[in-house]
Amino acid sequence: MQMRVILCALALLVLPAGTAFARVGDPFPAFAAGPLMQQLQLTPSAQATDAAGRLVYRYVSDDQVITVDLVVRGGMIEQELMYIPMDARRGYQVSFFLQDAIGSVVGAQTGMIAFNAALNNQKETSVPFGGYTMRFTPMGGLLRVLVSR
């Protein structure tokens, strides 16, 4: 019984510590300071302005396999995109990305169903969750993961 109480108390202390997300709709600096940078080993690669006047920030993983683009307007994250090899073994990295982009473990799990469907069917798949849309688009040997509001 005492051990159960200790484990519950520890869980309550750990849960709030892991809630630092950089969701779509949050200020841009939240991403650069967030845990996804370390989880995916991302480093800044480029910055550009698109035709709509939005800033696009590109990050590339240390192994040069994963690319993450942030579309920012007025200092707020408007969209998050991830380009990753079409490989089911990359699912844990996609899950980290989704959890960070929408701020929900349950939402990330929901998105993983669409991720697997896109891999298996080789077709674009999307799923809404909590005001966000997660879209998975096969592009040759890559899969584009787009999270937007």
- Give the bridge partners for 101, in sequence order: none
Crossing angle for the helix pair 105-121 and 91-102, nearest 10 degrees?
140
Share of the chain above pLDDT 70, in %: 87
Q: What tokens does 47 get?
A: 């910055």
| pLDDT at residue 68 tops 80 | yes
The residue extents of the domains of the chain are 19-148
The pLDDT, as a whole number, for residue 2 is 46
CA–CA distance, 116 with 137 (Å, rounded to integer): 11
pTM as predicted: 0.83
The pLDDT, as a whole number, for residue 20 is 61
